[in-house]
Amino acid sequence: MIEGRRVILRSVRNSDIQYFLKWLDDPEIALLLGRYFPTSEFDERSWLIEAPERGDIIFTIIDKATGQPIGNCRFGGIDFKNQRAESGILIGEKDYWGKGYGKEALELLIDYGFTELNLNSIYTLVISSNERSIKTHKQIGFREQGRIRQRIFMKNKFYDMIYFDLLKSEWLQRRKHIKNKTLF
C-alpha cells in the first residue's frame, strides 16, 4: 500500500472489478481512453490475472476520506533490464475530476517506480483529446517526446497519441521542490 495525503494506492481486489467495468463502459471515459467496445467481466478478470505475466503492476486508487475506489493506475510492460515502464492512470469517479486526486495518485505511482522499482524512465501515451491528462503529466514533469499522428478515430475525427516520458534524474530533482512533502 502506498499512502498519500488524500489517496491510497493498494493492490486490486475482486470487489474492485465492478468499479473498473463501470468506468470503462462509461462513454465519456471511453472517449478519453480511445476505447471502442464495452469490456466484459471475463475480459477484465483475465486482464488482471495475466498482469504479472505481462510485467504489469496495477493499483486501485482509494479516496482516504471515504475508503471508496475512485480509479486505478499501473505500470505496464516493466522492463527491469532497461529500467523502464509505461504508466497509466484513470480516475473513473467523475466527482473527483479536476480536483488534484489524479495528480497525487500519479505522483505516488511515479515515485514508487523510481525509488522502489529502480526505474530510470517512465513513459505514457495520451490521446490528444484528453486535456486533463496532458496537463497533469506536464505538471508532474513529463515531457512530450513525439506524436503518433491521427492514431485514433472517434466521433468522426482523428486524434493524435502523444508520447510523454520522464527520467529518474528529472523526477528526483523535481521531488526536492514539491510543496506537499506529505506525498513522500
Give me the average pLDDT of each 10-residue run along the chain (184 residues).
96 94 90 79 88 92 98 96 97 96 97 97 95 95 97 91 97 79 55
- The ranges assigned to domains in the chain are 2-179
pLDDT score, position 183: 58
| Local structure of residue 4 (DSSP, 8 states) | -
Please tell me the number of Cα atoms within 13 Å of 21 on its side-chain side: 13
**Of the candidates 131, 134, 23, 133, which has an alpha carbon nearest to the alpha carbon of residue 68?**
23
> Which residues does residue 123 pair with via DSSP β-bridges, in sequence order?
86, 165
What was the pLDDT predicted at 182? Answer: 54
What residue has cell string 532497461? Answer: 82
Give me the pLDDT at residue 108, please. 97
Q: What's residue 37's pLDDT? A: 76
Q: Which fold has domain 2-179?
A: Aminopeptidase (3.40.630)
Per DSSP bridges, beta strands 121-127 and 84-91 are: parallel
Please state the pTM of the whole predicted model: 0.91
